[in-house]
Structure 1
Amino acid sequence: MTNFFFDLTHNNPDRFFLIAGPCVIEDLDTSLGIAKYLKQVTSDLGIPYIFKASYDKANRTSVQSFRGPGPERGLEILKQIKTELNIPVLSDIHLPDQAEKSARVLDIIQIPAFLCRQTDLILAACRTGKPVNIKKGQFLAPADCRNIVEKAESTGNRDIAITERGTCFGYNNLVVDFRSIQILRELGLPVIFDATHSVQLPGGSGNASAGERQFVAPLARAAVVCGAHGLFMETHPDPDKALCDGPNSIPLSQMKNLLTHLVNIRKVAGPSL
């Protein structure tokens, strides 16, 4: 039986894999354009690539915030991107009854950080048999993820990854403890580092989250050195006009240089500690 994450990490031991795309699906043209560009860049650099975009941001700060096109239209767009570009696609689910329908399109199902302890959600996602990426909650110690992994693997699904995305540090702030990557690696699963949500300032703009994208590159460099198997980044052609998480998204025009630099660091640092 093929294990998606195992293949990514063991068939490409000298390369990190990349999960990247816009925070939310704004429309087909924007999402498809981002995916095309990233596919070309990652192909040139030899980086395994997974396109990411949310079809519904159910945890936005304000009720007025843009949530996305919703499951029906969002999955249609993700299916078109997947088919046209022949790349795997990832999105998140927020309710157990979204799992089966999403699994018909998604190659990877993601569990949002705020929902990482929701047992029914994790079990529903894992029972689809699809690879599942579980984001570590901002409120959890990395060692606490062992309990989450046990929930996931109780379904018989072993195609699981854990994503580090920073830890609450007082009000409206996150901090990254890079010991976390090693602690999570000891669970025996692929470890992904979310370089863009780690610089988020939750609720920092009052009715929306703020962010400090100038710190994305140094945190990504550190994660590569510390042995992260994969990187997660949100990017947009014009982050200041993005409808979600623009302050912590990377301008699409900067992705090629950043990824090239990270590939060179991995060559020197090696794939593990």
Structure 2
Amino acid sequence: MLPEFLKELFANQQYDENNFFLIAGPCVVEDEDLLMEVADKVSGICKRLGIPYIFKSSYRKANRTSANSFTGIGDDNALHLLQKTGKHFGLPVTSDVHAHDETAEAAKYIDILQIPAFLCRQTDLLLAAGDTGKIVNVKKGQFLSGPSMKFAIEKIKSTGNNKIILTERGTTFGYQDLVVDYRNIPWMQEQNVPVVMDCTHSLQQPNQTSGVTGGNPQLISTIAKAAIATGADGLFIETHPNPAKAKSDGANMLHLSLIEDLLEKLVKLRKAVVSL
């Protein structure tokens, strides 16, 4: 069952209460046409399948390997486009925030503040995000165990904000790979918060000598199915109509044309899991 703060978030959507919820969209705001195309496609699919849907795109990418990597089109422009997309399709929207002094401004435009994995221990950022009163989605650091995320939760709750989501996104394996420990899903659920599986970033291959992160998008379906089987409350999937030309994380995003078939399969799997 969804917690009350998510039921309120999805109040204007019709969905199956036994379904997982979805956070999906292109990695970064590139232009208005991209946001509208992806939101239109994914929202239509989710409506048909009864999946509550949150649109995601980062207004700025601060965590990039190379100084030459694309970071965004400007904060104000990107935030306005995110808000416009959400209003146009009647969707809640989410984006990364990277510093404590960004949170109040971002909260004017988005419904969920997402804390990047590398920043999940930044106390001032977590407190500032909590102070906005918005939902805060904290991605588990690649260097942390699931149970240790209770400390991030405690920091946000100290502000009086109990609207918290945790997201699993893999664990560092060597220098250039990640693995997913599915024990982290039930372990983090013990904190009485919804837990999301990031099905795309968990397939990244970081620290490439080219300065561009690699990935294994052919395994997105595998990661997603395993997460549903393990009991994840939600899924996070970055998707793009042309990942090869995406300006960020193209190597691990799902092609937009493939998301409908995947979601259909995941809904069937979810029904089987719920019936057990």
TM-score class normalised by the smaller sequence: over 0.9
Q: Which residue of 1 aligns with 2:270?
A: 266
Q: Which residue of 2 aligns with 1:149?
A: 153
Ranges in structure 2 where 5+ consecutive residues have no aligned partner: none
Amino acid at match of 1:248: N
| Pick aligned residue for 2:183 from 179, 186, 192 | 179
Cα distance in 1 for residues equivalent to 2:4 and 2:107: 16
Q: Which residue of 1 aligns with 2:258?
A: 254
Q: Which residue of 2 aligns with 1:189?
A: 193
Q: Are 1:24 and 2:25 matched, yes or no? A: no
Distance 1:205 1:39, change over 3 A: farther
Any idea what the Cα deviations from partners look like across 1:87-116, whole Å, max 9, x if unmatched?
100001001111111111101110000000
Q: Which residue of 2 aligns with 1:83?
A: 87
8 Å CA contact 1:21, 1:34 repeated in 2: yes
Post-superposition shift, 1:203?
2.0
8 Å CA contact 2:199, 2:224 repeated in 1: yes
Ranges in structure 1 where 5+ consecutive residues have no aligned partner: none
Q: Are 1:101 and 2:105 matched, yes or no? A: yes
8 Å CA contact 2:60, 2:74 repeated in 1: yes
Q: Which residue of 2 aligns with 1:4?
A: 5
Q: Which residue of 2 aligns with 1:163?
A: 167
8 Å CA contact 1:3, 1:159 repeated in 2: no
Cα distance in 1 for residues equivalent to 2:4 and 2:26: 26
8 Å CA contact 1:224, 1:262 repeated in 2: yes
8 Å CA contact 2:24, 2:55 repeated in 1: yes
8 Å CA contact 1:75, 1:105 repeated in 2: yes
8 Å CA contact 1:8, 1:48 repeated in 2: no
Any idea what the Cα deviations from partners look like across 1:3-36, whole Å, max 9, x if unmatched?
4236579x95410000000000110101111011
Post-superposition shift, 1:41?
0.5
Cα distance in 1 for residues equivalent to 2:18 and 2:206: 34
Q: Are 1:52 and 2:53 matched, yes or no? A: no
> What are the equivalent positions in structure 2 for 1:64-143 lying under 5 Å apart?
64-143=68-147
8 Å CA contact 1:6, 1:190 repeated in 2: no
Cα distance in 2 for residues equivalent to 1:60 and 1:123: 24
Amino acid at match of 1:249: M
> What are the equivalent positions in structure 2 for 1:224-243 lying under 5 Å apart?
224-243=228-247
Amino acid at match of 1:247: A
8 Å CA contact 2:100, 2:129 repeated in 1: yes
Identity over aligned pairs, percent? 49
Cα distance in 2 for residues equivalent to 1:6 and 1:142: 25
Distance 1:258 1:51, change over 3 A: same
Post-superposition shift, 1:84?
1.1
Post-superposition shift, 1:86?
1.1
Any idea what the Cα deviations from partners look like across 1:230-266, whole Å, max 9, x if unmatched?
0000000011111110110000000000000000000
Any idea what the Cα deviations from partners look like across 1:116-162, whole Å, max 9, x if unmatched?
00000000011100001000000101111011111111111010000
| Pick aligned residue for 2:203 from 199, 202, 209 | 199
Distance 1:6 1:156, change over 3 A: farther
Q: How many residues align?
A: 270
8 Å CA contact 1:6, 1:159 repeated in 2: no
8 Å CA contact 2:16, 2:50 repeated in 1: no
Cα distance in 1 for residues equivalent to 2:44 and 2:17: 21
